Amino acid sequence: MHRTIRSARPAAALALALAATLVVPGAAFAGTTEPTPATTTAASTTSPTTGTPTGSPTTSTSPTTAATTTAPTTSADPTTATQPPSPVTTTATTTATASSSSTTTATTRSKRPTVKAESASKERTPFGSASGLRAALVPGDSSDQAAYAAGFIVRTLAARDDHYNYPASTFFDGGNTIDAVLALDGAGAGLAQADATTDYLAAHVNDYVGYPDPAGSPTAETYAGPLGKLVIGVVAQGGDPTDFGGQDLVARLEGLLTPAGRFSDKSNFGDATNPSGDYSNTIGQVLDIIALGRATGSVPDAAGDYLLDQQCADGGFRGNLDVAGAACTSDTDATAFAAQALVGLLGADDPATIAVLDWLSSHQAANGGFLNQDGQYNANTAGVAAQAFAAGGLDAELARAQAFLATLQFDCSFATALRGGIAFTSADYAALKAAPTKTAELDRALRATPQASLGLAGDSLLTVTADGAADDAPTLDCRTSTTSTTSSPATSTSSTSSVTPSGGGNDPADPASATPGSLAFTGADVAAMSLLGTLLLLAGVGAIVLARRKGVHA
């Protein structure tokens, strides 16, 4: 009897050995294959703050008032839209309450008195020379997410004859189209598509910025904001803005500068509330300043002074220009744009620039995002703010904004055509996961992605360039790997969570184009192996203990 009990010891030892072979490797695999999300460092594009005709997730400075509208459907153009729909500026800001998986806790920049600084026009140096501007972050080194967003942009542009239209219309949306080009340049990918889209822009200049007056025609129009954005796009692409589409865009822009320093629209399409047809606003003023600065190396002092006059006492900037008798209320989108212009005009260490960057950083939420006027966290505002932080050298704030944007990016759990794109809001993110062809949400993603992408790339309107960009944009095939994706945007900062990988070839119908591409994360499931090893380990220990106790009593 005693022999029988003692004979169990070899079996117990065998169980222990087998358990060890399962538990130890299981733990090792768990430590080495835990999913690691692609980092996010990209520069987002800007989204202006003026009122928009249709409310798209981007702001467009189309010729309308500078009131920011939150309706997430109009063009992502911080400038004025010149063709029907009637000239109206759109500053749709995207809302995203996503949780950021890599929120940085680095200390924010020390706050200095947010006192409006007097402009020192006579002391200004050539545009950009005092800013200490740095090159954009390299997507391959710091973040693949801007490059995957570029893949989404390339696919959607190619499927739409190399340009975007306004939602639910056939009217050319030049602002959103230029944002897409800048996003591709910032990501350093998709150059072939960016070139094709630039060719389209050259053939449709007047469809976007308005038709010049050939001989005193009463229908002549030129919109300042759109013209400035176009010049920035041409310069970024390495083109000649003095000869683009057969026109001298620089001379045309300089012709819009008034003696007061304001870049004003020239239009005969006013209404009862604005008979002059001048819908220029702060974002358009910023775009024109950056455009002239990049195209000529200098900006008229009057233009810089006029912009500084729009800075409120708290350091932020209002969206509407110089409204008589109106209180100066800072607007987040206008402030993010203005910050970039001030870095170029005055440098990052100028008191006025410090004040605007401090205002912007003080309005960044814990999740890295920013609220729009509708109380929504959105991709567009976060994207433009990320550009401002990149230009001003606020690395911690930039990282937080990028982490927020990453939570809105479509990963391997989405339809193939959506992967890499960025949702306008967390609600849109959830809606497109459930139904990838929802029209309104997809339209907003088409406008949110370009502006957010420039921020994801860690670039700004001051430095974005096509130099060194690859012809193609990368895509990831999600069919062969277990993936983990960013958790769907929630209202607070949170970490990423694992999800079931989507099956590549079995993806839902393609709502945009048919090219795979996503943020894929690989890993291994070792839970079952570890559990079996643990059970065997307990069994072996129990057998040995039992054998010893029986032996003692024997």
What is the per-residue pLDDT across 543-553, written as a single tens digit (0 to 9) for each? 544 444 444 44
Query: So what's the pLDDT on residue 374?
Result: 82
The highest-confidence range among 219-228, 260-269, 324-333, 380-389, by mean pLDDT, is: 380-389
Query: So what's the pLDDT on residue 453?
Result: 96
**CB neighbours (10 Å) of residue 310?**
26
For the segment 319-348, the average pLDDT, to the nearest whole number, is 91
What pLDDT, in 10s, does the model give residues 262-283? 999 988 776 666 767 788 999 9
Query: So what's the pLDDT on residue 43?
Result: 35
pLDDT beyond 70 at 425: yes
Q: At 536, is the pLDDT very low, low, confident or very high (cuts 50, 70, 90)?
A: low
Distance CA 375, CA 373 (A): 5
pLDDT cut 70: percent of the chain above it: 58
Query: So what's the pLDDT on residue 207?
Result: 93
For the segment 445-470, the average pLDDT, to the nearest whole number, is 96
For the segment 308-324, the average pLDDT, to the nearest whole number, is 90
Mean pLDDT rounded to a whole number for the chain = 73
Query: So what's the pLDDT on residue 533?
Result: 54
For the segment 523-533, the average pLDDT, to the nearest whole number, is 46
For the segment 67-80, the average pLDDT, to the nearest whole number, is 37
Q: How many CA atoms lie within 13 A of 549 on its CB side?
A: 6
SS3 at position 497: strand
* Structure token digits, residue 78: 């911080």
Query: So what's the pLDDT on residue 344?
Result: 96
Query: Which of the two residues, 208 and 514, has the higher pLDDT score?
Result: 208
Q: How far apart are the first and last CA of the chain?
A: 9
pTM score, whole prediction = 0.69
Query: So what's the pLDDT on residue 514?
Result: 37
pLDDT beyond 60 at 371: yes
What pLDDT, in 10s, does the model give residues 285-310? 999 999 999 999 999 999 999 999 99
Cβ(389)–Cβ(397) below 8 Å? yes
Nearest to 419 by CA among 500, 508, 358, 346: 508
Query: Which of the two residues, 329 and 324, has the higher pLDDT score?
Result: 329
The widest CA-to-CA distance across the chain, in whole angstroms, is: 118
Q: At 385, is the pLDDT very low, low, confident or very high (cuts 50, 70, 90)?
A: very high
How many whole angstroms from its chain centre is CA 509? 26
Q: What is the DSSP letter of 311?
A: B
How many whole angstroms from its chain centre is CA 116? 29
Distance CA 440, CA 184 (A): 24
pLDDT beyond 60 at 440: yes
What pLDDT, in 10s, does the model give residues 15-49? 445 445 444 444 433 333 333 333 333 333 333 33
Q: At 192, is the pLDDT very low, low, confident or very high (cuts 50, 70, 90)?
A: very high
What pLDDT, in 10s, does the model give residues 99-154? 333 333 333 343 333 344 444 444 566 787 654 454 444 333 335 889 999 999 99
Angle at which helix 282-296 crosses helix 332-346, to 10 degrees, equals 30
Cβ(394)–Cβ(357) below 8 Å? yes
For the segment 245-272, the average pLDDT, to the nearest whole number, is 90
Q: At 326, is the pLDDT very low, low, confident or very high (cuts 50, 70, 90)?
A: confident
How many whole angstroms from its chain centre is CA 425? 12
Query: Which of the two residues, 354 and 323, has the higher pLDDT score?
Result: 354
* Structure token digits, residue 310: 């729009």
Query: So what's the pLDDT on residue 213?
Result: 64
